[in-house]
Amino acid sequence: MIVMMMKKKLCCCIWFILSNLLPVFVVSAMNHGNPANELVNIINENRTAQKLPILKDNPGLGCMALQYAEECKANCTSNNTLSCQPADDDFTEIFAPNCGVELPTFDIISGRIVGCQFKHIEPSQAFSDILVRDKKSLSLLISKGHTEVGVGFIGNNHGPFFWCILFSSGQTNSTFVLEDGGRGIKQKRGCFSGTNIQCSGVDEIDLFLNTLSVILIIFICYISGTMMP
């Protein structure tokens, strides 16, 4: 009778663990995508609300935004501000070559917005709390001179997380063209807009650790149960 009660408690223990960790799996699955694309949608929704034309999501511009964020990843201050200003030459000498952007198609960068945060937040919150939180960034967002946009996002499991928005006033469909459709880009961390490539090195770590934790806990409970007389 005592053994049956102990095994029943073991089953309840396993059920309690799974039911509490299930929301973590759901959140991880929801976050496992491309937040850079989500931010572009938010940008265009805000421009549409101001009766402005939407901006073309340019993957070449997005890839360079990711390179920009990568270069600035060590410059997030304790109050979530980014003290980093890469030289203009870095775009043509570093960012574009790293992305495989065909240099004859390189066009005008008409604006940039950058921000960082030590905790992982959703694109909508990053937009309002980090990137577009003053009149200067709002004015840049709704500028009539922009025609294209690209977003880069990078971070790790413990932060900080970096966002970079690049705007261009170039001719759409013919600027920042990626060689071979971007297939030569080796994206080890983060993600950029204009592609279906999911973020790497951000949410996958959380999902892996959560899965490993569940497996270990269930295994320990199972072993404990089998050792009962």
At 133-150, the pLDDT tens digits run 899 999 999 999 999 999
Tell me which DSSP letter residue 93 carries.
Answer: I
Residue 180's pLDDT is 85
* Contact call for residues 114 and 149 (beta carbons, < 8 A): no
b or e along 112-143 (b: 16 or more beta carbons within 10 Å of the residue's beta carbon)? ebbbbbeebeebeebbeebbbeeeebeebbbe
Residues 52-73 have a mean pLDDT of 94
Nearest to 163 by CA among 195, 218, 201, 118: 118
Which comes out higher in pLDDT, residue 146 or 200? 146
What CATH class has 35-205?
alpha beta
pLDDT above 70: percentage of residues in the chain: 72
| pLDDT surpasses 90 at 55 | yes
| pLDDT surpasses 60 at 13 | no
The model's confidence at residue 56, banded by pLDDT at 50, 70 and 90, is very high
The model's confidence at residue 25, banded by pLDDT at 50, 70 and 90, is very low
Which comes out higher in pLDDT, residue 31 or 188? 188
Residue 20's pLDDT is 46
- What torsion, rounded to 10 degrees, do the Cα atoms 44, 166, 39, 187 define? 140
| pLDDT surpasses 60 at 15 | no
Residue 28's pLDDT is 36
Classify the phi-psi angles of 9: left when phi > 0, otherwise alpha if psi is within -120 to 50, otherwise beta.
Answer: alpha
Residue 103's pLDDT is 94
pTM of the model: 0.75
